[in-house]
C-alpha cells in the first residue's frame, strides 16, 4: 500500500488541506497534490507533501447572491492530462464535480486508475438541486467513480438521496481538519489585552454570506437591553466592513467591537486562544473549518445551522446551533455566556473532547482505508 502513487486534484491547495495531506504523505510517500492555486505551504508543513502547480484557475461568476455563494463556473487548465499521464497514479482523489474530476473519470480506461470524488459538504448553491442537467451530469460522474468522500452527513445524504450514489461507496468523515499544535504555536497577540470578557470571536471574510451583520444586530439588541459587558473581536476583512463599522457607530457598539482586520494564517491561533467563545453566523457554508479550529483550541462554538460543521456542535454541551436569521435567539445565546462565565470552561472542554477524534492523523487513516477499499475493487 505505501508504494501506491496517489494524486489529489485540488482547484485550490489552500492551507486547510495541508494538515491532512502532510499525514497522508507519511502513509503514501509517493502522493502528489496537483493544484491550480497555490499560496505556498502552511507554516509548519513546509515540504511535508509533494505539490505540482498546474497553470491557473479562472472563476466565472454566473449569478450573485446576497446571502450565499451564488453560482459560478471554474475553468481549470487542461494540461492536467499530461501531468496525470506522466505521474501515472493508481488512485486519484478529485475535488468536487469540476473539469479535472471529469477528466480523471473519462481517462480511467486509459490510465487504469481509481477515482474518488471528494464532496466537501452540502449547501443550496453548490448542490444545484433545481438544475436537472447538473444533477444528471453529477449522477453520471458518481456512477463512473469508485467511491466518494464527504465531511458531513448532509453531504452523504445529498450524494445518496439526490444523486443516487451507491451507499456502500460513500464514506463520511471530516478530512479538512486543523492541526491543534500549529494553532498553539501562533505567537501571542496584544490586540485582545484588557478587553472586557467574555470575548466573542468572529473570523472570516466580511461579506454578506458570512452573516456578521446579523451578529452585530444581535449585539445591538443586547445594547438596547442594557447589556454591554462583553467584547466582540472581528478578524478578517471584506467589502462589507465600512458598512458594518458605520452600523456599529450608529448603534453605539464601538466600545464593544474590536476590528482587527486580516490576519496571516500562522497568527490565527492566538486569537482563538485568547477568545472565550467563537461565533459563526454564516448564511451558507459547506464546511467551515473555523468551527473545528475553535473546538481544537477548546472553545465553545455558537454556530449557524447553515454551516456544514454545525454537525459537530451539540446544543448545550459544546455550544449552540441557531437559525442565523433569528437575531433575538442569537442575542439570548450571547447573553447566557455573559451571565455565566463558567459556561466557557465547561463547554470548551467538551469541544476539545469531541474534536479529538477528528485529528489530521485520523483523517489520514480514514483516507487510507478508502484507498484500500477502491484498490481491492
Positions of the chain with pLDDT under 70: none
Closest CA to 72 of 133, 126, 124: 126
Quote the cell numbers at residue 374. Answer: 477502491
In this prediction, residue 71 carries a pLDDT of 86
Share of the chain above pLDDT 90, in %: 95
Q: Where in the sequence of the chain do the CATH 3.40.50.2000 domains occur?
A: 6-177+359-376, 181-357
258-302 confidence digits (pLDDT tens): 999 999 999 999 999 999 999 999 999 999 999 999 999 999 999
Measured in residues, the chain has a length of 377
- Cβ-contact 215, 202 below 8 angstroms: yes
Look at domain 181-357 and name its CATH class.
alpha beta
Cα distances from 316 to residues 32, 33, 330, 336, 342, in angstroms, run 42, 40, 14, 11, 13
Closest CA to 291 of 283, 105, 300: 300
- How deeply is 339 buried, as exposed, middle or buried, from its count of CB atoms within 10 A (0-12, 13-18, 19+)? exposed
Q: String of b and e for 352-364 (b: at least 16 CB within 10 Å)? A: eebbeebbbbbbb
Q: Could you tell me the sign of the dihedral formed by the alpha carbons of 197, 202, 207, 212, in that order?
A: negative
Name every residue whose Cβ is closer than 8 Å to that of residue 75 and which is 6 or more positions away in sequence. Answer: 57, 58, 59, 60, 99
Pairing of strands 71-75, 58-63: antiparallel
In this prediction, residue 250 carries a pLDDT of 98
66-75 confidence digits (pLDDT tens): 788 988 889 9
* Phi, then psi, of 94 in degrees rounded to 5: -110, 130
As a whole number of angstroms, the distance between CA 119 and CA 95 comes to: 6
DSSP 159: I
- How deeply is 123 buried, as exposed, middle or buried, from its count of CB atoms within 10 A (0-12, 13-18, 19+)? buried
User: How many whole angstroms from its chain centre is CA 126?
Assistant: 14
Architecture of domain 6-177+359-376: 3-Layer(aba) Sandwich (3.40)
Name every residue whose Cβ is closer than 8 Å to that of residue 351 and which is 6 or more positions away in sequence. Answer: 294, 295, 298, 299, 300, 301, 318, 319
- Cβ-contact 223, 251 below 8 angstroms: yes
HSE-up of 179 (CA within 13 Å, CB side)? 22
Name every residue whose Cβ is closer than 8 Å to that of residue 316 and which is 6 or more positions away in sequence. Answer: none
171-186 confidence digits (pLDDT tens): 999 999 999 999 999 9
The separation between the first and the last C-alpha atoms of the chain, rounded to the nearest angstrom, is 14
In this prediction, residue 108 carries a pLDDT of 98
Amino acid at each position: 500500500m505505501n508504494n501506491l502513487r496517489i494524486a489529489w486534484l485540488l482547484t485550490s491547495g489552500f492551507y486547510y488541506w495541508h494538515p491532512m495531506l502532510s499525514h497522508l504523505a507519511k502513509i503514501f510517500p509517493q502522493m502528489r497534490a496537483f493544484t491550480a492555486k497555490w499560496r505556498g505551504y502552511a507554516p509548519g508543513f513546509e515540504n511535508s507533501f509533494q505539490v505540482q502547480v498546474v497553470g491557473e484557475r479562472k472563476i466565472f461568476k454566473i449569478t450573485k447572491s446576497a446571502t450565499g455563494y451564488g453560482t459560478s463556473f471554474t475553468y481549470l487548465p487542461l494540461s492536467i492530462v499530461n501531468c496525470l499521464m506522466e505521474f501515472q497514479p493508481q488512485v486519484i482523489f478529485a475535488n468536487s464535480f469540476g473539469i479535472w474530476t471529469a477528466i480523471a473519470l473519462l481517462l480511467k480506461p486509459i490510465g487504469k486508475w481509481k477515482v474518488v470524488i471528494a464532496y466537501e459538504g452540502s449547501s443550496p448553491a453548490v448542490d444545484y438541486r433545481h438544475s436537472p442537467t447538473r444533477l444528471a451530469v453529477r449522477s453520471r460522474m458518481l456512477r463512473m467513480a469508485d467511491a466518494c468522500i464527504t465531511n458531513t452527513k448532509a453531504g452523504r445524504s445529498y450524494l445518496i438521496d439526490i444523486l443516487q450514489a451507491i451507499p456502500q461507496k460513500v464514506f463520511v468523515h471530516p478530512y479538512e481538519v486543523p492541526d491543534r499544535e500549529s494553532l498553539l504555536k501562533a505567537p501571542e497577540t496584544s490586540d485582545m489585552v484588557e478587553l472586557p470578557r467574555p470575548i466573542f470571536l468572529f473570523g472570516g471574510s466580511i461579506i454578506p454570506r458570512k452573516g456578521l451583520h446579523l451578529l452585530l444586530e444581535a449585539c445591538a439588541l443586547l445594547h438596547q437591553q442594557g447589556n454591554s459587558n462583553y467584547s466582540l473581536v472581528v478578524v478578517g476583512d471584506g467589502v462589507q466592513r465600512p458598512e458594518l463599522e458605520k452600523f456599529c457607530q450608529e448603534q453605539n457598539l464601538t466600545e464593544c467591537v474590536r476590528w482587527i482586520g486580516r490576519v496571516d494564517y500562522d497568527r490565527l491561533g492566538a486569537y482563538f486562544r485568547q477568545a472565550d467563545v467563537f461565533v459563526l453566523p454564516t448564511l451558507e457554508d459547506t464546511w467551515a473549518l473555523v468551527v473545528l479550529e475553535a473546538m481544537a483550541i477548546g472553545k465553545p462554538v455558537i454556530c449557524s445551522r447553515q454551516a456544514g460543521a454545525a454537525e459537530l456542535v451539540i446544543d448545550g454541551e459544546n455550544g449552540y446551533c441557531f437559525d442565523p436569521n433569528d437575531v433575538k435567539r442569537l442575542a439570548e445565546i450571547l447573553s447566557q455566556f455573559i451571565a455565566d462565565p463558567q459556561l466557557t470552561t465547561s463547554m470548551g472542554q467538551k469541544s476539545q473532547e469531541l474534536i479529538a477524534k477528528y485529528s489530521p492523523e485520523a483523517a489520514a487513516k480514514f483516507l487510507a482505508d478508502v484507498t484500500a477499499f477502491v484498490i481491492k475493487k
